[in-house]
Structure 1
């Protein structure tokens, strides 16, 4: 089948979900993201910490860890944070603690960037250049979770569903070039469905996992 046919089949599946009870759950989730984006920089930074710990790890476990640590992301030393992450069962406690403590040094800069730039892609580039451990996926995830809905979060679940529908081929590494190419494909899908990219991600994630986390 051609790419256009494969895309149409995937779009039809998503449209069916949009006509189900899942739509209300996703709308509520999007509302919560936008509300978080209007909160103070400390709350926003804690969401960045969530996205850092969630990368390469289970999403639901990461939510539990975020709730357990809470304000600790704002003040715990690297060693104390690593111990906390280890005790809570995280796979990479030392690495993630290092990333978070280093990111904490940039909290005021982050506040200024979020206030200064309207273009989400500019902010994404800044995050990748200035926050260790943050690449395209983590930066896009964070920005979506604070209400910027115009970026694609391309993780293993999204790649799997696109491959299974014949929209993309298998590849070993998700390079910057590939990320942007896939983001453009997802933009086409979102335009046809009249969804923001951030909303589309939630539908695709639900299709692949049967869950809506964040």
Structure 2
């Protein structure tokens, strides 16, 4: 059995375990997020801005505590809140969030104009500071898109462990799309979406199914 086949076997094992129910619950949660008002969707974007080079679980806790403050707090106060809550880059992330507020009321309309999720991802990376390919993919997955890959170090670790990619020194757009293509093939062979695959792979690496 090849290393790739081993990984497929592990994924299929998870599909037939209690983890499948956890993944299904998350997928339903993401779908519901996409139906919310623009300002609620904006708060999810803020969460994804926080996750760049920072811990996802801690970002979830910060999002819960700040909540509407993402929409209302002055930059100095938002910076202080992020600092108190232990974010690694409080000043920079506060600035990105405050600058992104110009889209808080129109974000849902902007999203609805795009029929192609890849083009929407490109728009996000070009128009929202602090949002790269990973963060844009994460945001779109969390509001119901299921055809983009969220490539972080957990995913790289798994693919590298099974000989499917090398660990890149820097994540260029070209490299991101190459790895996304590998993940797309794995998802197809596993008969699941890229969004579901991400959750299963995250579970393999961390033992958790987070958003």
TM-score range, shorter chain: over 0.9
- Runs of 4+ deviating beyond 6 Å: none
* CA-atom RMSD in angstroms: 1.1
Q: CA deviation at 1:106?
A: 2.4
Alignment size in residue pairs: 211
Partner of 1:153 in structure 2?
150
Q: Does 1:65 align with 2:62?
A: yes
Structure 1 residues not aligned, in runs of 5+:
none
**Take 2:16 and 2:114, find their aligned partners in 1: how far apart are those partners?**
35
Q: CA deviation at 1:108?
A: 4.1
Higher mean C-alpha displacement, 153-162 vs 107-116: 107-116
Q: Does 1:117 align with 2:114?
A: yes
**Take 2:41 and 2:14, find their aligned partners in 1: how far apart are those partners?**
30
**1:123-138 map, 5 Å:** 123-138=120-135
Q: CA deviation at 1:109?
A: 4.5
Give the TM-score normalised by the residue count of structure 1: 0.96
Q: Does 1:13 align with 2:14?
A: no
**Take 2:69 and 2:7, find their aligned partners in 1: how far apart are those partners?**
42
**Take 2:33 and 2:106, find their aligned partners in 1: how far apart are those partners?**
18
Q: Does 1:190 align with 2:187?
A: yes
**Take 1:163 and 1:116, find their aligned partners in 2: how far apart are those partners?**
37
Structure 2 residues not aligned, in runs of 5+:
none
Q: CA deviation at 1:54?
A: 1.4
Partner of 1:83 in structure 2?
80
Give the TM-score normalised by the residue count of structure 2: 0.97
Q: CA deviation at 1:21?
A: 0.2
